């Protein structure tokens, strides 16, 4: 039996409230669980001490039994200092899509061409009067 430490949603519509529970992975999110390990109220301020309340002894027990915390619960445990902090990186999240890259390349090419065109006429009139003087 695979055990997860996860959030079970409660509360009314638009007013979420979560229980931190140890549950069999085959059970529904809000369904049957083995043990309630704490509560999480996202409506409270982030610095409020009542936002996340956990029974750390029981969580340690379940982790020792092989329970796997979900990503959100593991972040809470990291903040509490129960679990070592994991490296998380989503390198492609901030990267623009293909079309945006193509537009940026086209814009850069047009800007470079405009800069060359602006530089070329500025040099040409300086040479033109010298040629006219030589011709006269």
pLDDT (average), residues 97-106: 90
| Lowest model confidence (mean pLDDT) among 1-5, 69-73, 111-115, 120-124 | 120-124
Asked if residue 98 and residue 71 are part of one domain, the reply reads no
The residues pairing with 114 across neighbouring beta strands, listed in sequence order, are none
The Cα 135–Cα 81 span in angstroms is: 85
| Count of H-run helices and E-run strands, the chain | 3, 5
Q: Give, rounded to a whole angstrom, the gap between the first and last alpha carbons of the chain.
A: 100
**Same-domain pairing of 41 and 75:** yes
The average pLDDT across 106-127 equals: 77
Instruction: Flag whether 87 is in a domain.
Output: no
106 and 52 within one domain? no
């Amino acid at each position: 039996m695979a055990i997860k430490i996860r959030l079970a949603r409660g509360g009314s519509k638009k007013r979420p409230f979560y229980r931190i529970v140890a549950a069999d992975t085959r059970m529904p999110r809000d369904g049957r669980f083995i043990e309630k390990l704490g509560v999480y109220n996202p409506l409270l301020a982030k610095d409020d001490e009542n936002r996340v309340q956990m029974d750390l002894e029981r969580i340690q027990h379940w982790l020792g039994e092989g329970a796997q915390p979900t990503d959100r619960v593991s972040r809470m445990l990291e903040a509490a200092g129960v679990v070592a902090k994991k490296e998380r990186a989503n390198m492609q999240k901030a990267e623009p899509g293909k079309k945006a890259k193509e537009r940026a390349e086209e814009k850069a090419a047009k800007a470079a061409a405009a800069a060359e065109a602006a530089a070329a006429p500025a040099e040409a009139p300086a040479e033109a009067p010298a040629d006219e003087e030589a011709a006269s």
